[in-house]
Structure formats: structure tokens, C-alpha cells
Amino acid sequence: MFANDAAEYLRPGLTRLGYYSRPTFLIIGTQKGGTVALRKYLARHPNIVPAKKKEIGYFDQDISYRRGDCWYHGHFPLPHRLGRHGVTFEATPEYLYYPKAAQRIFSYDPALKLIVLLREPVGRAFSAWNMFRTLRYEHPDSLRAILPECDPVLRESISQMLSGNFPEFDQAVLDEIDGTLSGSAALEPSFVRRGLYHEQLLRYLKCFSREQILVLDSARLKRELGTVLPEVARFLGLPEFGALPADLPLFHVGQYEQQIAASTRGFLREFYRPHNDKLYELLGRDFGW
């Protein structure tokens, strides 16, 4: 225990001297797609030690990226904590959505493996809206706490959430789509556009080979966890998980007081249809959304 405490105390100097760990893979998205759950499941693997913080946000926010690799490496377990066969990773859903992240990740390490969780986009949009609405009215201090870590676009979006009445889902959807079609929309808020997965994945496929990217339907984490986790282990070149408990918990399963209006759901499904078709063609797989 004393040795570990001493190493942590000396971490900044050790990192500058080259004694640090680098991630061998990243979970890059999507927001509200099950990244919290997958991170916790992967932490059960004997060879995987996650970063101390789930969402480091290094590659998507300029304010963090300017801090440099030394700052980034400070979030990962030191080599003696990993052992000879251990690997580490982090999970930041914004990496999939924010345009700068793909090239930055490739420049950092072109050999990285990437895991993408995609969620049916209408349900994902509604889940994200509920998350921010809950934060706005029940945990506003948690939103204020992240403002210093945000670039101006995200900071402005969060500040607007905190300063006024939170829009109803129907209005938020229409405002975002109108702004997108007119070319006036900023990157945030992004309830709808984070579900445009085809264009987001294309940015990564311009840099990384298909073999480096594992794309999963997040619904399978609930239906087929016993199949998905071995699939992830094989993708990472790691041994199987071994016997997993039959009652692994589900993480962050949202229960909402209100539901999407049928007309809004139908409108969004039609909006997403051509984008989903492009995604299916790109992946050679139909998710049935």
C-alpha cells in the first residue's frame, strides 16, 4: 500500500520521465449508448484496468487537448499496476460526435482499437434530453462544475440550459433540425445529430482500418451480454472473461415519467431513415431501426 501511495505521489515526475501507461483501446461512443455499462463490465476482466476517470475528454475539447499527452497519461494506472499482460482504456462518448477527435486520436496512436456502441437514434435522443433535463432541474451544480472543462460552444450550450426554462422534447428536436437544415446550428445542443452515425463513423474510417473498429448495437448489452463480452475480448486479443455471474447488473437503465409523442417519434424515424440506410450500407448490417 505504501509503495502504491508513493508512486501516485510521484506520478507527475514519473510520467515526465516516461514511466506511464498508454491506452490500447478506447470506447468512443455513443452518448447514452451504454458506455457506462460496458466500462464496468470490462473492468471485471482480469487483464483490464480502466482509467481512473470514465470520460477524460482529451481528444474532443481543445481546452483539454492543449494540456498535452503528459496530462492525458496521468489518468491511467501506472505500469506496475497493470502487470505484464494488463491493458488500460478510457471511455468518452463525445469522441464519436466531435469532428476533431478522429484525427487527433489517430495522430496520438494509429494502432489503437476503438469500440463504438450505437443506440437506436430516436430512443437515444430522448434519453439524452431526459438526462440533461434531470441535470438542469435536480443537479444543476454538476453542470456548473464541468463548465471550466468545456470549450466555448459546449460552455454556451450548458449555460443556456442553466439560465432558462428547459425546452420540451418536441420543441428541442424541431429547433435543432431547423438549425441544421438552415446551416445555423452549432455543435451543441445535439440531441438529434448525435444519432447521425454514418457521417461520424466515416471520419474514423478515413483514419483507421475497419479491423480496428468494433461496432456494437447497444441493445445487445441487455439481450446478449454473455455473447457480447467474449466478442469484445476477442476483438482486443485478450483471454476470455471466464465464468461471469448470471445476474450481472444493468447500469443506467432510464425510467422516464413521460414518453415520446407518437407524432414526434414518427417524424424522427422518417428523419433518420436515410441516414440509417447509409449506416447499414457502410457496415453491411441492418439494425432494424
3-state secondary structure 106-159: HHHCCCCEEEEEECCHHHHHHHHHHHHHHHHHHCHHHHHHHHHHCCHHHHHHHH
Average pLDDT of 204-224? 96
pLDDT tens column, 23-64: 999 999 999 999 999 999 999 999 999 999 999 999 999 999
Residue 259 has pLDDT above 70, yes or no: yes
Q: Which residue ranges make up each domain of the chain?
A: 2-283
Write down the pLDDT at residue 138: 95
Residue 225 has pLDDT above 80, yes or no: yes
DSSP classification of residue 74: T
Write down the pLDDT at residue 255: 65
Whole-number Cα distances in Å, 10 to 3, 48, 118, 122: 11, 23, 39, 47
With CA atoms as reference, report the closest residue to 230 among 218, 241, 222: 241
pLDDT tens column, 74-133: 999 999 999 888 999 999 999 999 999 999 999 999 999 999 999 999 999 999 999 999
What topology is assigned to 2-283 in CATH?
Rossmann fold (3.40.50)
pLDDT tens column, 53-71: 999 999 999 999 999 999 9
